[in-house]
Chains A and B, each alone.
Chain A
Amino acid sequence: MNKLVKLFTIFISAISLTLASISSSFAKVEGEYIVLGSAISLTGKYSSNGVHTQNGYNMAVERINKMGGVNVGGKSYKFEIIYYDDESNPKRAAQLAERLIKQDGVHYMLGPYSSGLTKAIAPVTEKYKIPMVEANGASRSLFTKGYKYLFAVLSPANQYLEVAIDLAVEKNGGKPVRIAQAFEQDAFSQDVRLGILDAAKRTGSEIIIDDKLPKELNDMAATLAKVKATKPDVLVVSGHTKGALTAIRQIAEMKVDVPMLAMTHCDAAKLSKQHGKKSEYALCASQWHKNLSYKDKFFGSGKKYDKDFKKEFGYAPPYQSAESSAALLVFKDAFERANSFDRDKVRDALKTTEMQTFYGNIKFGPGGQNTAKPMILFQVRCKGDVCENKVVAPTKWASDKFYHPIPKWSERS
């Protein structure tokens, strides 16, 4: 027993020593680097969108560093990001945020992917007064909690598909429509649902199907069977990338005829590529599209960003990447205006952000959400076998006319 006690003492002292030696924290600004921290979903259900986010961050870091970096106090600094994998799990994300701040000494954070994970991280950054610019947490409830250090470059989730309902009513001659909707059980999609409920109330429309889909969904046949039977005017589906893919796959398989199909995450799911003609006429909410005419000096226009991104990563950038890149532009701007690394000064500078990026105008409302940029809707349109996303609303940006109603499957070639 004596030896066992000794063994224990050795074990514990070894642990203590290791801990003590690594707890000497790093600085927020190391030499010429400004260190940002981010927990990103590299594995788990959000892994594909997590990678889009990470690519967006990396692209912007590289670009800003190459083009002179961040000028603070007459000296030029470069961005550097510490990444951890949050495994698409809010618990892990909260833990990693704590770790980034306490152990790695990070003083500025970039957001994770998805509203749920942002909801888990926001209380931590708020507690330590760490400014966080996030690009992928759109849930409305993030902006009503009175967070002071949270800034989102995107429009809140409830605005995603509200416009689609207005559009449906308009196409119906101003008369109310019958809506069928199915939403994943997660913070983001449930917020999109709230937006639809508001729009339905406003237009006097009736919701005839209101289904909940499980997380990581790969089957929604039950909902579609109901849609087939009740023939609604609009079908609304939201469930991140998997939701979009599942919906298109099964709608085509079951030959569900519905005059209007509104979704989210079409471009992240690369719908037009993966499903080609099957996805034609799908109406998608997006934070950004390459055809919009916003500009900045780092990425030029949306089209240029699209080209550079394709060259770098080999695929067209979904809006998740674009908004993530924009987050770094916001940080750079704030650092330079604050002309300091003081967290509160940086926060105050963030609060007064008013700028245009290739991704859109950015100005933060009192809750931290971006109030300067409208959502857009695009529709998947095909020419031969090549399908593309065409912006159809709002009219200011529209490059194509909205095609309505969707032809029946029996009439589609």
Chain B
Amino acid sequence: MTAIKQKDLILYSGLIILGLVAPFLFSAFKVQLTYLCVLIVLAMTWNLQGGEMGYNSFGNILFYGLGMYLTASVQVGMFFPLAEWTESGGEKTFVHTTAQYFQGIGVGLLVAAIVPTIVAGAIGYAILGLRGHYFAICTLGLGIAAGEIAGGIEIIGAGQGFTTPPFPAEIVDPEARGQFFYFLSFLVLVLAFVFVKYIYGSRFRLILNAIRDNEDKAEAMGIQTMKYKIVGWMCSAFFCGLAGGIMGGLIGYIDSTDVAFDGREMGVFMVLMAILGGKGTLWGPIIGATLFHFFKEGLWTFILGWQYVALGVLIVVIVVYFPEGLMGWLREKYPERFGEVIDEKDRKAQVELK
């Protein structure tokens, strides 16, 4: 890994400082900022397979939902009988003390990161032999199936949904909850960024690219593509699980198909954001997610009832005018800023030859 350049250092420290002061500057927007962090994490990690490995997965929502249910279940189950908490009548109410709440969510998030990673390994072993559309459709099915199955499991609330533990009442400040979830998600975002950045400087990324560009050739070169594909997916699952866990706590209510295994929204959004920004780039998904979130939050309320039509138009515009995403478009326009040198003389010479 190359040493970080000075300019980059300024950029990164600037962004981190911005991230740290943002919840105080824009106090009213804390929850939106938290969503933004989570969206960026999802887009960035989706980009690992979708962009770098060329495996378009609609199944990452599986890990997100799994993380959500696991965090909530652990947080409750550590201190109280889970079945009684989620019992549909909900006659009994248990109250977490402050310490229990934070211990619970800590352990919960840990489980939410580890279990989906293992699940990704197991499922990946089974289905990563599929390629192209077959893989995409298969993963689409995974998300839908998970939602329906979760909707039938009584201990996690089934169709009733799962109310996650409320933020401890002993903390009186109404801003505290927002701040806690913001910083949690920001931390995960920083972790994910550092991790993805590290991958971008490693041989691992080149292998993923090789799989994307020509898997058979990569195999012929002696790369055990299966192994790398699985590891790549497990990396995504790790962060998706964490993101899901945070979102569960933030939303406060988990519904099997609308909140947790929400393939129709989150599952599609993460793909869309990565494509909007430019897949296969480090900054693309980040810019894409940011733009998307602003578009969604800013514009949607003005076109009440028509927002999905607007979203459809946006998708068409992206696909028609920016097929490579914003980063790809910029790269084509200003290649020199991306470190690509064009030899004008050589280019002209070729044109004249023709």
Contact = CB atoms under 8 A, between A and B. Distances in A.
Task: Specify whether A and B are partners.
Answer: yes
Interface of A: 1-5, 8-9, 12, 15-16, 19-20, 23, 25, 42-43, 83-85, 87-91, 94-95, 98-99, 102-103, 116, 119-120, 123-124, 126-129, 139-141, 144-146, 183-187, 189-191, 194, 212, 214-215
A14 B69 CA distance: 38
B31 interface: yes
Given A144-B89, A187-B160, A127 B174 contact: yes
B304 interface: yes
Contacts of B304: 42, 83-85
11 contacts: A5-B7, A85-B300, A91-B247, A91-B265, A103-B29, A120-B253, A144-B89, A145-B93, A185-B151, A187-B160, A215-B151
Contacts of A183: 159
Main secondary structure of the interface of B (DSSP, over half): helix
Given A3-B337, A19-B26, A85-B304, A90 B161 contact: yes
Interface string B141-179: 000000010011000001111010011000000100100
Contacts, number: 154
Interface of B: 5, 7-8, 10-11, 14-15, 18, 25-32, 35, 88-93, 148, 151-152, 158-161, 163, 166-167, 174, 177, 247, 250-253, 255-259, 262, 265, 290, 294, 300-301, 304-305, 307-308, 337, 339
B258 A144 contact: no
Given A116-B258, A187-B159, A123 B253 contact: yes
A90 to B, nearest CB: 5
A3 B160 CA distance: 53
Contacts of B35: 95
B7 A141 contact: no
A187 B307 CA distance: 27
Given A15-B290, A85-B307, A191-B160, 20 more contacts: A1-B7, A1-B337, A4-B337, A5-B11, A16-B18, A19-B25, A20-B25, A20-B26, A85-B304, A88-B258, A90-B253, A99-B32, A102-B31, A116-B253, A120-B259, A144-B91, A186-B161, A194-B88, A194-B89, A212-B159
A231 B5 CA distance: 77
Nearest to A103: B28
A146 B166 CA distance: 12
B85 to A, nearest CB: 11
- 7 nearest A-B pairs in the assembled complex, by CB-CB distance: A185-B159, A141-B90, A123-B252, A120-B253, A102-B28, A98-B31, A42-B305
A123 B30 CA distance: 17
Contacts of B167: 127
Given A5-B11, A23-B29, A190-B88, A146 B93 contact: yes
Nearest to A213: B159
B120 to A, nearest CB: 23
A120 B252 contact: yes
A94 B93 contact: no
A119 B8 CA distance: 45
Contact of B18 (A12, A43, A95): A12
Contacts of B250: 94
Nearest to A4: B337
Given A1-B337, A187-B160, A43 B32 contact: no
Contact of B252 (A84, A94, A187): A94
A128 to B, nearest CB: 6
Contacts of B294: 15
